[in-house]
Amino acid sequence: MDIFIGVVVGLLVLMFLVTAHEFGHFIAARRNGVNVLEFGIGFPPRIAAWMKDPKTGKWRKLPRKEWSKDKVSKVVYSSADDKSFAQKGMVFSLNWLPIGGFCQMDGESAADSREGTFGKAGFWAKTKILFAGVTMNWLVAILIFTILAWTGMPEFLDNQFTIGADTRTDSTPVRIASVAEDSPAARAGLKAGDYILTVEGAEVRHASDVMGINESHAGEIVSYVIQRDIKTGCCLDDCPECTCVEDCKMEPAELSFDIHLNATGSEYLLGITMETSQALSYSTWSAPIVGVGLTAQITGETFKGVGIMLWNLISGVGSQFSPDEAVRENGQDAISSVGDSVSGPVGIIGVLFPAFTAAGPSNLAFLAALISVSLACMNVLPIPALDGGRWLLIAIYKLRKKKLTKETEEKIVSRAFMVLLALIFIVTILDIIRIAQ
């Protein structure tokens, strides 16, 4: 049931983020004189549709019999030998497939020269329209992060952006879930239920803090300070002759342990498993600044990750032509790391959203903001099927002072789109394999 709820929530969140992206295109198109034929939430088949009368500005629900193109359009004769269809008004639709949304503009080809079309718009207007979607995704992320900064921001990143003068952090200590038999932890006296306060004098806020310090001190003696609930007062198991059990209490106490860790290469260094803990940071006046700063930080990390992924892919493929077996093996590891670092729709909806939904609304909102930033970053990339690629194509032809024909644009965009579909298919297969394992 948790997985099912997570999948449903994931679909709704993704639909919201994609619809917000398309709404950015919609606003920019309307403000720059480009007619929008249809704005849809979800993808067809349709559930319902409404049309806005351009003269009165009123909306009316379209009966199913008027959904076809010939019912919402009228013939316009531009010359004696040429006729075309013009839509009577903008359509707003709700659709059955909850996988995003769309903004269908009139004359989306850059070669279209009719008034009110995307093709007729100037270069600056096209730029604003194409990048309005990614701008909207960044604004959504900023809004979510701003709200989280007020209500409690989960800490997921190293050196996560905050304003120190206006940040209060609440965190629960890392709790030991289990202790392996005959491990350094067991021999030292650590128990399940203990809370780890410090390791080598450093405050512990995440399980990764414990693992990092242990790795840097493998084979050495490390000092731990833990918090444990200890019985105080008159307790039957401590004093069998007592009768005043009502005075028995459990009180937290801090205990110190010097633990000799196992050496590097051992099955484990300490021998414990830890429950996931999470710190929440709170801001007041600086919340909007945190929203902008964290969005910028994650944007930079996203582009950095894409760069590393592309480098690993290119260098990994290139190394397969090397006569050195060690170089080829390193290249294979680099290629494998690319597959492990990429997640498609199945991985996001089937794995990430169920996990983050179960972790609470703050974590779910953080994930939504992360995906919104990712959508913005991906659409900026110079891939012809995406917004950044379409803009680059238009810009190149403008600099060359050549007309970008409809046939050339469709050929480039359609081929790039097929490559994207192939990549999505491959990533989806990898997601299914990871889930099955």
* pLDDT computed for residue 405 by the predictor: 86
* pLDDT computed for residue 266 by the predictor: 87
Rounded CA gap, 416 and 424, in Å?
12
Over 60: is that where the pLDDT of 434 sits?
no
* 194 contacts 406 by C-beta, under 8 angstroms: no
Q: Which residue in 254, 192, 198, 210 sits closest to 228, CA to CA?
A: 254
Name the pLDDT band for 101 (thresholds 50, 70, 90): very high
Stretch among 97-111, 122-136, 245-259, 338-352 having the lowest mean pLDDT: 338-352
* 279 contacts 205 by C-beta, under 8 angstroms: yes
Over 80: is that where the pLDDT of 234 sits?
no
Q: Which two tokens stand for residue 162?
A: 């905050």
Name the pLDDT band for 246 (thresholds 50, 70, 90): low
| 3-state per-residue secondary structure call for 308-346 | HHHHHHHHHHHHCCCCCHHHHHHHHHHHHHHHHHCCCHH
DSSP one-letter string for 74-119: EEEESSSS-EEEEESSEEEEEEEEEEEEEEEETT-STT--STTSTT
Q: Which two tokens stand for residue 372?
A: 């919104």
Summarised one tens digit per residue, pLDDT across range 344-384 is: 455 555 556 666 766 678 888 998 999 999 999 999 999 88
Summarised one tens digit per residue, pLDDT across range 167-213 is: 998 877 888 989 999 999 999 999 998 999 999 998 887 787 898 89
* pLDDT computed for residue 35 by the predictor: 92
* pLDDT computed for residue 162 by the predictor: 93
Q: Span 147-161, mean pLDDT? A: 89
Q: Which residue has the higher pLDDT, 231 or 364?
A: 364
Q: Span 35-61, mean pLDDT? A: 91
Name the pLDDT band for 9 (thresholds 50, 70, 90): confident
Over 70: is that where the pLDDT of 399 sits?
yes
Stretch among 9-18, 285-294, 300-309, 372-381 having the lowest mean pLDDT: 300-309
* pLDDT computed for residue 330 by the predictor: 77
Share of the chain above pLDDT 90, in %: 44
Over 60: is that where the pLDDT of 34 sits?
yes
Count of alpha carbons within 13 Å of 303, Cβ hemisphere only?
11
Name the pLDDT band for 18 (thresholds 50, 70, 90): very high
Over 80: is that where the pLDDT of 45 sits?
yes
Q: Please enumerate in sequence order all residues whose Cβ is within 8 A of that of 65, keeping only pairs 6 or more positions apart, or say none.
A: 71
Average model confidence (pLDDT) across the chain = 83
The winner for highest mean pLDDT among 6-20, 129-143, 219-233, 251-265 is 129-143
Q: How is the beta sheet containing 59-61 ordered, strand by strand?
A: 59-61, 36-52, 90-105
Q: Which residue has the higher pLDDT, 431 or 127?
A: 127
* 13 contacts 371 by C-beta, under 8 angstroms: yes
Q: Which residue has the higher pLDDT, 273 or 54?
A: 273
* pLDDT computed for residue 163 by the predictor: 94
Summarised one tens digit per residue, pLDDT across range 405-417 is: 888 888 888 888 7
* pLDDT computed for residue 85 by the predictor: 65
Rounded CA gap, 149 and 256, in Å?
35
Name the pLDDT band for 239 (thresholds 50, 70, 90): low
* pLDDT computed for residue 363 by the predictor: 86
* pLDDT computed for residue 359 by the predictor: 65
* pLDDT computed for residue 426 by the predictor: 64
Q: Span 260-279, mean pLDDT? A: 86
Q: Please enumerate in sequence order all residues whose Cβ is within 8 A of that of 41, keeping only pairs 6 or more positions apart, or say none.
A: 15, 19, 93, 94, 95, 101
Over 70: is that where the pLDDT of 241 sits?
no
Q: Which residue in 117, 113, 101, 110 sits closest to 36, CA to CA?
A: 117
* 348 contacts 371 by C-beta, under 8 angstroms: yes
* pLDDT computed for residue 111 by the predictor: 78
Which residue carries 């803090």 as its tokens? Answer: 209
